[in-house]
Amino acid sequence: MTSRTVSSLVLTFSLGLGVAACTTEPRSDSPAPVVDRSVVPGASAVEAPAPPPETLPLVRVQPLPRPLPLESQPPPAPPQMSMTPKPKPKPKPLEQVATAPPLQPEPPAATAPPAEAESSAATAPSAATAPPARAEPPAEAPAPAPAPKRDVALPPAEITPKGNQAVVALLNSARQYVARSDWDRAAAALERAVRLEPTNAGIWHDLAQIRLQQRQYKQAEDLAAKSNTLAGKDRQVKSRNWKVISVSRRARGDDAGADAAQAQSTVER
């Protein structure tokens, strides 16, 4: 037999013993008694006396000494300021002035002759003479009242669309407002256009025409004069500006200035 066969038989036998031991029935009688070796056989068990309770030492608490009462003393009085007035210095006694003897009446003075009285009156300055009165400056003449405005025939407003694309769009809008006599919106459109092209003389002239329609004659004249300064060699725009200035002056009662502006408009043609 080989060693491998022997080892397999031994293993099989061991397993068989283990299985047999597990299959034995449990013990049904009482278990074996347990003997206490610490107890001597035949000696009766005597209970040991319980130890006496521990007694704590008594500690006597002595009361704290009461504080001695403070002596009742009145609080110190605040310092009082002396209110007694200081004694005023006594005035020094006036020196006795020697009394003068009573005056005796003087004898009446002799009257001067009338000639001497006249001479003294002539030499004395006259108190009745008053200083010369100051000459008051002449009153200023009141300023002439402005001439009243008159109703004049206003020329029709004509808007000329000239400028860049944005300016032309605003001028076309102003032309539509002028056709409907909506002067406020027309002026607003022209003011926006003049902000885009402040050197465009035509826009200033168009705005002067709107102010003329709004009866704002002084402002219309100023705007027309501003357009003339920017017109350069454009005589047509200048001629139209002088016509606006002429109508504005005539409406304010300045006929001479209106005639001069009208004459200037013919020169610029």
Q: Domains of the chain, with CATH numbers?
A: 165-267 (1.25.40.10)
What separation in angstroms does the CA of 153 have from each of 27, 244, 247, 251, 269? 148, 11, 8, 9, 22
Mean pLDDT to the nearest integer, 248-266: 91
Contact 200, 167 (CB under 8 A): yes
What is the number of helices (H) and of strands (E) in the chain?
A: 8, 0
How many angstroms from the chain centroid is the CA of residue 83?
56
pLDDT of residue 124: 46
The sign of the CA dihedral 121, 127, 131, 132 is negative
pTM: 0.46
Contact 194, 200 (CB under 8 A): yes
pLDDT tens readout for residues 162-206: 888 999 999 999 999 999 999 999 999 999 999 999 999 999 999
- 10-19, 87-96, 153-162, 256-265: range with lowest mean pLDDT: 87-96
Confidence of residue 114 (pLDDT cuts 50, 70, 90): very low
In this structure, which amino acid lies at residue 251? Answer: A
- 14-23, 129-138, 239-248, 252-261: range with lowest mean pLDDT: 129-138
Q: Supply angle C-alpha 239, 268, 244, rounded to 5.
A: 20
Cβ-in-10-Å burial (0-12, 13-18, 19+) of 141 comes to exposed
102 vs 269, higher pLDDT:
269
What separation in angstroms does the CA of 139 have from each of 134, 142, 197? 15, 9, 51
- 124-138, 193-207, 246-260: range with lowest mean pLDDT: 124-138
CA distance 102 to 226: 101
pLDDT of residue 43: 52
Contact 238, 246 (CB under 8 A): no
The single residue listed with the structure tokens 């003997």 is 35
Q: Supply angle C-alpha 263, 265, 267, rounded to 5.
A: 75
How many angstroms from the chain centroid is the CA of residue 240?
51
